[in-house]
Amino acid sequence: MSSATAKPHKGVRPLPLRVGTRQSPLALWQTRHFLDIVSRFCPVLRGAKAFEEHAIATTGDRVQDRRLADIGGKGLFAKEIHEALLDRRVDFAVHSLKDLETELPPGIVLACTLKREDARDVLVVPEGSETGDAADPFGCFPAGAVIGTASLRRQAQLLAARPDLHCVTIRGNVQTRLAKIAAGEVAGSLLALAGLRRLGLEDKAAVVLDPEAMVPAAGQGIVGVTVREEDTELHELLAGIEDREAAAVSKAERGLLAALDGSCRTPIGGHARLLPDGTLHLTGLVARADGSFLLKRSVRGAAADAALIGRELGEELRADSPADIFG
């Protein structure tokens, strides 16, 4: 991320700038983190009342009794926020990048991505339960144990490793899911380490899972900011806080997603990272939800070709998977 300060605000746009966000504690944390970065980057915006938060209820937040795949899948945590942006009720919007569709509505663009938090998933179990280790994280569960998750990606990888386990839907914000786990409703669950860290709840993680063993969701741990395509002034401002590494890995992961173009019922994983020499390493995964099929491959290439690398790996995975995977 650039350490320079932004050019003085032109004064054309009236303040406060309005930012759209989901209503969850994690979404609000991410929004305030973003606004803190912007304020430090642009001295003119450091004063009081420069920003106005607009917490927006999304379909994904309102419907809690079904899997996202059963109520429409892609974009359920962004649809109403997109509408507010296009209707000019907000000036920009802050998202967890993994919740953002690869093809945004006309007139909306992804303007910047912020530095990635740890992308890995973690295993969470009720207090006092036996825990596994990194080498065999699911070995602690007895045969037939019930695991809670709303993620088909996590479910597919879990069942591929332990087909005897049973998965049930567990939804809600991070605190809600942790409460259900603590109450013993399930023997364990899988959550994103990034969300736990941002909320100061990292101690709830029993085991941190290797991203090659449990491939994360594309964009996991990255905050993305969208604006109206025509809004060149905010484009210029946000370009200054773009994290270059996050931009490269997100292009690779979203390129992978775009090429696979799976339905909302297709378990897909994508995890890119920059190696010490600057080379980009990308792992992609497609699977059946029941874990009966799982295909995982990794490639390396120049970070400048991130989007192309992602697209080519996605096309390869698609070509080598059964047709029903993408039905």
- Residues labelled as active-site residues: 99
* Cβ within 8 Å of residue 62, ≥6 positions away: none
Are 298 and 282 spatial neighbours (Cβ–Cβ below 8 Å)?
A: yes
* HEC string for 235-300: HHHHHCCCCHHHHHHHHHHHHHHHHHCCCCCCCEEEEEEECCCCEEEEEEEEECCCCCCEEEEEEE
d(CA 81, CA 22): 8
Contacts of 232-236 with CB under 8 Å at 24 or more apart are: 233/10, 233/12, 233/13, 234/17, 234/91, 234/92, 234/111, 235/109, 235/111, 236/6, 236/7
Q: Please state the separation of Cα 149 from the chain's center in Å.
A: 15
